[in-house]
A and B are shown apart, each in its own frame.
Chain A
Amino acid sequence: DAGVIQSPRHEVTEMGQEVTLRCKPISGHNSLFWYRQTMMRGLELLIYFNNNVPIDDSGMPEDRFSAKMPNASFSTLKIQPSEPRDSAVYFCASRRQGASTDTQYFGPGTRLTVL
């Protein structure tokens, strides 16, 4: 099993630029989560999809952030325009809802630096 795949692993961009982060969940998993991790705030849930449908986006910081899940094997998190305070590590996690455990499996993360 390849696990959750995220790309890119590192992204450095300038303020005002558009940033797109990508995630491929584990095959067969039907729930997908986007998290942000910073030293200031720890690990925060941004948005949660179930069967490709956004269920809870209350953690999305503001309108500059958007997420899509066009199919069961792909999701994107877009920041437009990016700001220095968006610098963080962004994690994608997936889960198979209805399984005996409720474990979320995390990808390796994308480290975003906005200059």
Chain B
Amino acid sequence: GESVGLHLPTLSVQEGDNSIINCAYSNSASDYFIWYKQESGKGPQFIIDIRSNMDKRQGQRVTVLLNKTVKHLSLQIAATQPGDSAVYFCAERSQGAGGTSYGKLTFGQGTILTVHP
């Protein structure tokens, strides 16, 4: 039979361009968000995180923006390089009962970023 897999969004950019990867999350109670990068044959690697009491956080060449009103998260990569080519996942953490930090992350499907030299 025909196999059906996830159809990941893709983004192709030229080296040196800025990249923006978007993510819609599902739970309005989520209080913490992480972006991971996964290269072929490797495990997800932490890039940057943001708590729900913030709407922007910057790292080295990366910026994460959080819009809680529309439950949207974005990752901006400045001056994208071929080494940035990977699958990028957003993850959200939902609070446990009584407001405790459960620690369980729910991952998005991922976006494939391809950077052309």
- Contact across chains for B103 and A97 when beta carbons are under 8 A apart: yes
- Nearest Cβ distance between residue B47 and chain A, in whole angstroms? 10
Q: Mark B92-106, 1 if CB is under 8 A from A, else 0.
A: 010000000111111
**B109 interface residue per 8 A CB criterion:** yes
Total A-B contacts with CB atoms under 8 angstroms apart: 55
- Contact across chains for B103 and A45 when beta carbons are under 8 A apart: no
Q: Which of these, B42, B46, B103, contacts A109 with CB under 8 Å?
A: B42
Please give the residue numbers on chain B whose beta carbons come within 8 Å of chain A beta carbons, in ascending order.
3-6, 32, 34, 36, 42-46, 49, 89, 93, 101-110
Minimal Cβ-Cβ distance residue in A for B7: A39
- Contact across chains for B45 and A50 when beta carbons are under 8 A apart: no
A50 to B45, CA, bound (A): 21
- Contact across chains for B46 and A102 when beta carbons are under 8 A apart: no
The size bracket of the interface on A is 20 to 34
Q: Which of these, A39, A50, A91, A102, contacts B44 with CB under 8 Å?
A: A91
Q: Which 10 A-B pairs have the closest CB atoms?
A: A106-B43, A39-B5, A43-B107, A106-B44, A103-B46, A109-B43, A42-B109, A108-B43, A91-B43, A102-B32
- Contact across chains for A105 and B104 when beta carbons are under 8 A apart: no
A103 to B89, CA, bound (A): 13
Minimal Cβ-Cβ distance residue in B for A111: B41
Minimal Cβ-Cβ distance residue in A for B105: A104
**A18 interface residue per 8 A CB criterion:** no
Minimal Cβ-Cβ distance residue in A for B42: A108
A110 to B14, CA, bound (A): 33
Q: Mark A56-92, 1 if CB is under 8 A from B, else 0.
A: 1000000000000000000000000000000000010
A62 to B69, CA, bound (A): 38
**A48 interface residue per 8 A CB criterion:** yes
**30 A-B pairs with C-beta separation under 8 A:** A4-B43, A31-B103, A39-B6, A40-B4, A42-B6, A42-B109, A42-B110, A43-B110, A45-B105, A48-B103, A50-B103, A56-B104, A91-B43, A93-B43, A95-B103, A97-B101, A97-B103, A101-B49, A102-B32, A102-B34, A102-B49, A102-B101, A103-B34, A103-B49, A104-B46, A106-B36, A106-B45, A107-B43, A108-B42, A108-B43
